[in-house]
Chain A
Amino acid sequence: MTCKEFLALLDDLIDGTVAAETRAELEAHLGRCKHCEVIFNTTRKTIEIYRSHEIYDLPTGLRERLHAAIMARCKKGCS
């Protein structure tokens, strides 16, 4: 397997959507290619960091303003 072929299947490996046979080939490539190992590990880490950190804090009072808007809409006729 070449690095290009590995990269084409990188997402499937990360998402766990590869068949066992292909996975074995990908893992064998990882075992002998330091570059692809770095790409695999750091790409996984990239996703994990974005998943686990809140980068936009919620504006204060947003929920209250929304609740008021929904209630106002209700008064205009919704059940």
Chain B
Amino acid sequence: MAIIQPIAGELEPHPDVALVERVRGGDVAAYDSLVRKYERQVFRIAQHITQNREDAEDVVQDAFLKAYEKLDQFQGNSKFYTWLVRIAVNESLMRLRKRRTGKMVSIDEDIVTDEGSVPRDLADWAPDPEQNYGQAELAEILRKTIQGLPQGFRIVFVLRDVEGLSTEETAETLGLSIPAVKSRLLRARLQLRERLSRYFQRKKAGRGAKSKEAASVATTPGQTGVEKK
């Protein structure tokens, strides 16, 4: 494989640019590299939107196939990753619409918010509160908590905070204005924080590290939380 050394002072091109060029030249193995690099992110996004494992798996397949077929339309003025995410979000929303026939599914639907309110739960958390739970139990808490967010908040939080898109990229991907993304992100973060407080807040007395409710969270076999890093 040729190693291209960037010339000092020049902007280093994103490594995906070279991979995309190789795919365009007929190198399928280069596309496998892009799949390996982004399949986890695409699956996460699809799962967060569809909230259904089979649908999410289909979305991964459809999104990568569509991206492969439309690679000639990829302009290169955005990152391949954000272009792929946009395809994945659209595929996920389409899948959701199919499942909820007759019901409108939109990330732009009106969301009733308690605009301007101050968070209610102000109890501080235990230091490193996630360590009070096993991996599978923690993953279940995090799943349950984020699934409870309104769809429009959840997608913004996932793209912006979990997948690392910028505010501008998130707005473009979802067809929202920048102020709308910012407002939803704040609501999402505060709501998640408040919901997680039930599990993570510092206990006033005694050694019971987990609340009764938190301790009763069922763990799903096979759903093992794995550290990303």
The answer to whether B186 and A11 have CB atoms under 8 Å apart is yes
Report Cα–Cα, A22/B28, bound state, in Å.
51
Asked if B57 and A56 sit within 8 Å, CB to CB, the answer is: no
User: Do B57 and A59 have beta carbons less than 8 Å apart?
Assistant: yes
Could you tell me the dominant secondary structure of chain B's interface residues? helix
Q: How many residues of B contact A (CB 8 A)?
A: 56
Query: For chain A residues 25-77, which have a beta carbon within 8 Å of chain B?
Result: 35, 38-39, 41-43, 45-47, 49-59, 62-63, 65-67, 69-71, 73-74
Decide yes or no whether A18 CB sits under 8 A from chain B.
Answer: no
Could you tell me how many residues of chain A have their Cβ less than 8 Å away from some Cβ of chain B? Answer: 38
- Chain B, Cβ-Cβ closest to A54: B226
List, in ascending order, chain A residues with CB within 8 A of B35's CB.
63, 66-67, 70
Q: How far is the CA of A53 from the CA of B228 in the complex (A)?
A: 6
* B130 pairs with A49, CB closer than 8 A: yes
A-B contact pairs, 11 of them (CB 8 A): A35-B122, A41-B124, A42-B197, A43-B193, A50-B142, A53-B142, A54-B227, A56-B43, A58-B40, A62-B57, A73-B69
